[in-house]
Homo-oligomer: A and B are copies of this chain.
Amino acid sequence: MKKAELPQPLRGIIPPIITPLLARDTLDKAGLAKLVEHILGGGVHGIFILGTTGELSSLSYRVRHEMVESTCEWVAGRVPVLVGITDTALPESIQLAQTAEKCGAAAVVAAAPYYFSLNQAELTSYYQHLADQLPLPLFLYNMPSHTKISLAPKSVKILAQHPHIVGIKDSSGNGVNFQLLHYQLKDEPDFSLLVGPEELTAEVVLLGAHGGINGGANLFPRLYVDLYEAAVNRDLDRLLPLHQRVLQISTHLYSVGNSQASYLQGVKCALSLMGICRNILAEPLQPFGEKEQKIIRQHLQEIQAALNTKVPV
């Protein structure tokens, strides 16, 4: 078991990887290996598994544990692995964290429990209690569109005092809250502030955030790493065209069809067209049919032309 150290704070591009499947309840280990190599080849700074992009909640527990084991084994300590343990049942979160620790993951990530609605005090108390029992450092994960609650900047400030809580992935898309959170954390230089939506990575890194957990990095890892570096270096001439490519990807790959899961459908479909994994989603989500695949293929070719890359589609 090889394990990568977790930098403090964690910086850079950490792709939230999809879970490659052979069937609804069968992990595609060869696809996973291909995906990991594709992503590491782009120079990313870590890998996040079993997030929303990883269809965490749709997988059986058997497959979730397998995904942890297989990813850690294949990554083999080359970058830190972050494991999503989001669950409505605290004992299941802890078990997954124990598997993560055993396999050499660097940290775990948890969104709010998503069945019952909690208030800020209840959510803060939940996270403190969870962190107390975890064998690995914890990243908070703010995902209100899926959990029905947004972690308030003030709650994050309180939680940042907990010795096991080391950062946050904010996927709210709420730019105001992100900046107010940044301000609340101004005296916590080791607390990692990472943004979910890739449309925001350029701007928040320019203003001092630590990086992005961006789904598009499954497809074009180098683009996101380049964008991150341009932002860190305040090189706006280099940054703006890269940012345009990210917006092109978002506009043309993530909103095909009329499902609210069009982002996930688009990413998995594009990866299948690139020969990396199959176009299979776990229920309740459905993969794109032929009509949408055709649209994705065309958009993907346009993006590749703009990026001047040569991966076959």
B115 & A146 in contact (Cβ 8 Å cutoff): yes
A146 to B116, CA, bound (A): 6
**Which stretch (A70-78, A217-225, A256-264, A299-307) binds chain B?**
A256-264
Residues of B contacting A91 in the complex (Cβ-Cβ under 8 angstroms): 24-25, 60, 63
Query: A50-63 toward B: CB 8 Å interface, digit per residue (1/0)?
Result: 00100011111101
Residues of B contacting A125 in the complex (Cβ-Cβ under 8 angstroms): 286
The yes or no answer to A244 lying at the interface (CB within 8 A) is yes
A89 to B179, CA, bound (A): 34
B234 & A284 in contact (Cβ 8 Å cutoff): no
Query: A225-257 toward B: CB 8 Å interface, digit per residue (1/0)?
Result: 000000000101000100110011011000000
Residues of B contacting A114 in the complex (Cβ-Cβ under 8 angstroms): 114-115
Q: Known contacts A182-B247, A183-B247; decide if A116 and B284 are in contact (CB<8 Å).
A: yes
A145 to B208, CA, bound (A): 28
A250 & B180 in contact (Cβ 8 Å cutoff): yes
Contact residue among B56, B148, B203, B259 (Cβ-Cβ distance under 8 Å from A122): B259
Q: Known contacts A146-B115, A174-B175, A179-B199; decide if A60 and B92 are in contact (CB<8 Å).
A: yes
The yes or no answer to A193 lying at the interface (CB within 8 A) is no
Q: Known contacts A116-B284, A240-B208, A259-B119; decide if A200 and B180 are in contact (CB<8 Å).
A: no
Residues of B contacting A202 in the complex (Cβ-Cβ under 8 angstroms): 207
Distance in angstroms from A203 CB to nearest chain B CB is 4
The yes or no answer to A117 lying at the interface (CB within 8 A) is yes
Distance in angstroms from A175 CB to nearest chain B CB is 3
Across the interface, name the chain B residue whose C-beta is closest to A63: B91
Across the interface, name the chain B residue whose C-beta is closest to A127: B284
Residues of B contacting A60 in the complex (Cβ-Cβ under 8 angstroms): 89, 91-92, 95
Contact residue among B119, B174, B286 (Cβ-Cβ distance under 8 Å from A260): B119
6 A-B pairs besides A114-B114, A175-B175, A175-B200 with CB distance below 8 A are A56-B115, A116-B261, A117-B261, A119-B258, A125-B286, A173-B175
